Amino acid sequence: MKREDASHRPLSTRPILPDTPEAAARVLVLAIVADGRLGACEVQVLDDANAYERLGLDRDGFYRVMREVCAELLDRQSRTGDSMFQLDGTDAGSWLDAVSDPETRHQVLSLALQVIRSDGVLHPGESRLFWQALDTWKIRLDAVRAATVGETGKDTPLHRPPGPSARH
Protein backbone atom coordinates (compact mmCIF):
# COMPACT_ATOMS: atom_id res chain seq x y z
CA MET A 1 0.00 0.00 0.00
CA LYS A 2 1.33 3.41 -0.98
CA ARG A 3 1.82 5.94 1.80
CA GLU A 4 0.65 9.52 1.43
CA ASP A 5 3.04 12.37 2.06
CA ALA A 6 1.90 13.91 5.37
CA SER A 7 3.55 17.23 4.56
CA HIS A 8 1.02 17.86 1.79
CA ARG A 9 -2.14 16.56 3.42
CA PRO A 10 -4.64 18.54 5.44
CA LEU A 11 -5.37 17.28 8.92
CA SER A 12 -8.82 16.30 7.80
CA THR A 13 -10.78 16.13 4.60
CA ARG A 14 -13.96 16.61 6.59
CA PRO A 15 -15.57 20.02 6.03
CA ILE A 16 -15.51 22.29 9.07
CA LEU A 17 -18.46 24.61 9.60
CA PRO A 18 -16.92 28.04 10.20
CA ASP A 19 -17.49 30.06 13.35
CA THR A 20 -19.14 27.28 15.32
CA PRO A 21 -18.28 26.10 18.82
CA GLU A 22 -17.11 22.85 17.19
CA ALA A 23 -14.62 24.73 14.95
CA ALA A 24 -13.11 26.44 18.02
CA ALA A 25 -13.08 23.14 19.92
CA ARG A 26 -11.20 21.43 17.06
CA VAL A 27 -8.34 23.93 17.38
CA LEU A 28 -8.27 23.43 21.14
CA VAL A 29 -8.17 19.65 20.68
CA LEU A 30 -5.15 20.13 18.43
CA ALA A 31 -3.46 21.96 21.29
CA ILE A 32 -4.20 18.99 23.54
CA VAL A 33 -2.73 16.39 21.16
CA ALA A 34 0.03 18.51 19.56
CA ASP A 35 2.60 16.79 21.77
CA GLY A 36 1.55 13.40 20.41
CA ARG A 37 -0.51 12.31 23.39
CA LEU A 38 -3.68 13.11 25.31
CA GLY A 39 -2.69 14.12 28.84
CA ALA A 40 -5.00 14.03 31.83
CA CYS A 41 -3.54 17.31 33.15
CA GLU A 42 -4.44 19.04 29.88
CA VAL A 43 -8.05 17.94 30.13
CA GLN A 44 -8.10 18.93 33.83
CA VAL A 45 -7.02 22.47 32.87
CA LEU A 46 -10.05 22.69 30.59
CA ASP A 47 -12.34 21.50 33.37
CA ASP A 48 -10.86 24.03 35.80
CA ALA A 49 -11.15 26.88 33.25
CA ASN A 50 -14.79 26.10 32.42
CA ALA A 51 -13.55 25.86 28.83
CA TYR A 52 -16.46 23.96 27.35
CA GLU A 53 -19.06 26.53 28.27
CA ARG A 54 -16.73 29.35 27.25
CA LEU A 55 -16.62 27.83 23.77
CA GLY A 56 -20.39 27.34 23.68
CA LEU A 57 -20.41 23.57 24.27
CA ASP A 58 -21.15 21.30 27.16
CA ARG A 59 -18.55 18.76 28.30
CA ASP A 60 -20.16 15.92 26.32
CA GLY A 61 -20.16 18.07 23.17
CA PHE A 62 -16.48 18.87 23.60
CA TYR A 63 -15.62 15.21 24.16
CA ARG A 64 -17.58 14.29 21.00
CA VAL A 65 -15.44 16.76 19.03
CA MET A 66 -12.30 15.39 20.69
CA ARG A 67 -13.21 11.82 19.69
CA GLU A 68 -13.90 12.94 16.10
CA VAL A 69 -10.61 14.82 15.84
CA CYS A 70 -8.61 11.93 17.32
CA ALA A 71 -10.28 9.50 14.89
CA GLU A 72 -9.42 11.80 11.96
CA LEU A 73 -5.82 12.12 13.12
CA LEU A 74 -5.49 8.35 13.54
CA ASP A 75 -6.91 7.89 10.04
CA ARG A 76 -4.40 10.40 8.67
CA GLN A 77 -1.61 8.64 10.54
CA SER A 78 -2.58 5.27 9.05
CA ARG A 79 -2.74 6.76 5.52
CA THR A 80 0.70 8.36 5.86
CA GLY A 81 2.36 5.47 7.66
CA ASP A 82 3.63 7.73 10.42
CA SER A 83 4.34 5.99 13.70
CA MET A 84 3.19 9.03 15.70
CA PHE A 85 1.11 12.13 15.08
CA GLN A 86 3.35 15.14 14.63
CA LEU A 87 2.01 18.59 13.89
CA ASP A 88 4.07 20.56 11.42
CA GLY A 89 3.97 24.29 10.81
CA THR A 90 1.19 24.25 8.21
CA ASP A 91 -1.18 21.46 9.24
CA ALA A 92 -3.74 23.49 11.13
CA GLY A 93 -4.32 26.23 8.55
CA SER A 94 -7.83 25.30 7.44
CA TRP A 95 -8.89 24.61 11.00
CA LEU A 96 -7.61 28.01 12.13
CA ASP A 97 -9.32 29.68 9.17
CA ALA A 98 -12.65 28.25 10.38
CA VAL A 99 -12.50 30.52 13.45
CA SER A 100 -12.86 34.15 12.40
CA ASP A 101 -14.50 35.84 15.38
CA PRO A 102 -11.78 37.89 17.18
CA GLU A 103 -13.17 37.22 20.66
CA THR A 104 -13.36 33.47 20.01
CA ARG A 105 -9.82 33.47 18.65
CA HIS A 106 -8.52 35.14 21.82
CA GLN A 107 -10.53 32.71 23.94
CA VAL A 108 -9.13 29.68 22.08
CA LEU A 109 -5.54 30.97 22.31
CA SER A 110 -5.83 31.71 26.01
CA LEU A 111 -7.19 28.22 26.68
CA ALA A 112 -4.61 26.64 24.35
CA LEU A 113 -1.80 28.39 26.20
CA GLN A 114 -3.07 26.99 29.50
CA VAL A 115 -3.32 23.50 27.96
CA ILE A 116 0.11 23.40 26.37
CA ARG A 117 1.82 24.57 29.56
CA SER A 118 -0.18 22.33 31.91
CA ASP A 119 2.33 19.48 31.92
CA GLY A 120 5.32 21.79 32.40
CA VAL A 121 6.90 20.74 29.09
CA LEU A 122 6.68 22.76 25.89
CA HIS A 123 6.67 20.29 23.00
CA PRO A 124 7.71 21.58 19.54
CA GLY A 125 4.31 20.64 18.07
CA GLU A 126 2.56 22.70 20.73
CA SER A 127 4.80 25.66 20.09
CA ARG A 128 4.33 25.41 16.31
CA LEU A 129 0.53 25.28 16.64
CA PHE A 130 0.45 28.23 19.03
CA TRP A 131 2.70 30.40 16.84
CA GLN A 132 0.81 29.39 13.71
CA ALA A 133 -2.43 30.52 15.38
CA LEU A 134 -0.86 33.83 16.45
CA ASP A 135 0.45 34.44 12.93
CA THR A 136 -2.71 33.33 11.12
CA TRP A 137 -5.01 35.28 13.39
CA LYS A 138 -2.67 38.28 13.63
CA ILE A 139 -2.79 38.34 17.42
CA ARG A 140 0.04 39.61 19.56
CA LEU A 141 1.59 37.25 22.10
CA ASP A 142 1.47 39.88 24.84
CA ALA A 143 -2.34 40.13 24.51
CA VAL A 144 -2.77 36.38 25.00
CA ARG A 145 -0.24 36.22 27.83
CA ALA A 146 -1.91 39.12 29.64
CA ALA A 147 -5.30 37.41 29.42
CA THR A 148 -3.85 34.09 30.58
CA VAL A 149 -1.97 35.64 33.49
CA GLY A 150 -5.22 37.35 34.47
CA GLU A 151 -7.04 34.00 34.47
CA THR A 152 -4.38 31.78 36.01
CA GLY A 153 -2.10 34.11 37.94
CA LYS A 154 0.88 32.48 36.18
CA ASP A 155 3.12 33.87 33.45
CA THR A 156 4.00 31.50 30.65
CA PRO A 157 7.30 31.76 28.79
CA LEU A 158 6.80 30.69 25.19
CA HIS A 159 9.53 30.94 22.61
CA ARG A 160 9.05 30.85 18.87
CA PRO A 161 10.39 27.65 17.32
CA PRO A 162 13.12 27.93 14.70
CA GLY A 163 11.86 29.02 11.30
CA PRO A 164 10.39 32.11 9.65
CA SER A 165 10.16 34.92 12.13
CA ALA A 166 7.30 37.35 12.64
CA ARG A 167 6.95 40.34 14.89
CA HIS A 168 4.99 39.73 18.11
pTM above 0.85, yes or no: no
Looking at every residue in the chain, the average pLDDT score rounds to 80
Distance spanning both ends of the chain, measured CA to CA: 44
Q: Distance (Å, rounded) from C-alpha 78 to C-alpha 140?
A: 36
Per-residue pLDDT reduced to its tens digit, 124-157: 889 889 999 999 999 998 888 776 655 555 555 5
Cβ atoms of 145 and 112 closer than 8 Å: no
CB 65, CB 57: distance < 8 Å: yes
Measured distance CA(136)–CA(134) in Å, rounded: 6
pLDDT in tens, 50-61: 999 999 999 999
Contact 136, 105 (CB under 8 A): no
Sign of CA dihedral 31, 91, 87, 12: positive
Specify the 3-state DSSP secondary structure of 74. Answer: helix
